[in-house]
Amino acid sequence: MTGKSLKRFSFFILLSGILFLAGGCKSDKAPQGNQPTGFELAMTDKDTTTIVNLINHFFQCVESGNVTDAVAMLYMDNANDPNQEPELLDNEHIQRMTGMLKSLPIIDHRIEYIKFNETYSNEVKVSAIIAHAEGDMPEVKTVFYFKPYDYLGNWRLCVVDTNKGDERVIDNNQADSVAKKFEQDMQEKTK
């Protein structure tokens, strides 16, 4: 082999090794949300039912005009230490949430999905219906994301505060498949 062909061969081997390692790393790492966590595997129908009841109670209060009781159900988690007990909303958050809920004429709601991940990192997507579909007019709705928090076996309904750096558990590109699975699971439970 000449010096030039030896350099090409060495470069080819090095490039092949890099591509092999990069490909190996990608195959070892599962996409977010596909592998259930230990916490998620430990969840039971009781946990799902508790979350559904919390969400339904919250929206029943809102839909009946009792926004104060709905807001009193909400908590904020401790961003600095997620293992600390969630706290009730402070006055500023209460005023913002109350004003927002009073400004939306919510008449119905639909839980799109519940995704369990960790005690402090779960997600519920809820469509709040402002007007039902009628004729050619599609349904008018807005979306709420909640972060149920399991603190010492008691579920608290925390709000997602993106201004505080909260991130969703589900990537947007996975939301439809999670919603379909949740709908199938709920249909099977009602049979």
Cβ proximity of 126 and 111 under 8 Å: yes
Residue 68: inside a domain: yes
CB atoms within 10 A of CB 106: 18
Residue 7: inside a domain: no
- Spell out the per-residue pLDDT of the chain, length 191, in tens: 555 444 443 333 333 333 333 333 333 333 344 678 888 888 888 999 999 999 999 999 999 999 999 999 999 987 778 788 999 999 999 999 999 999 999 999 999 999 998 888 899 999 999 999 999 999 999 999 999 999 988 999 998 876 665 666 766 666 656 666 667 766 676 66
Amino acid in the structure at residue 163: N
Residue 177: inside a domain: yes
Residue 159: inside a domain: yes
Residue 96: inside a domain: yes
Taking the CA atoms of 84, 86, 88 and 91 in sequence, report the sign of the dihedral they define. Answer: positive
Cut 0.85: pTM above it: no
Question: Which residues span the domain enclosing 176?
Answer: 37-189
Residue 185: inside a domain: yes
Beta strand 74-76 pairing with 154-159: parallel
Three-class DSSP category at 110: strand
Q: What is the pLDDT of residue 167?
A: 66
Rounded Cα distance between 191 and 69, Å, is 33
Residue 22: inside a domain: no
Three-class DSSP category at 24: helix
Number of domains observed in the structure of the chain: 1
Residue 30: inside a domain: no
- Do you know the residue count of the chain? 191
Residue owning tokens 């030039």: 4
Partnered with residue 156 across adjacent β-strands are 149
CATH number of domain containing 154: 3.10.450
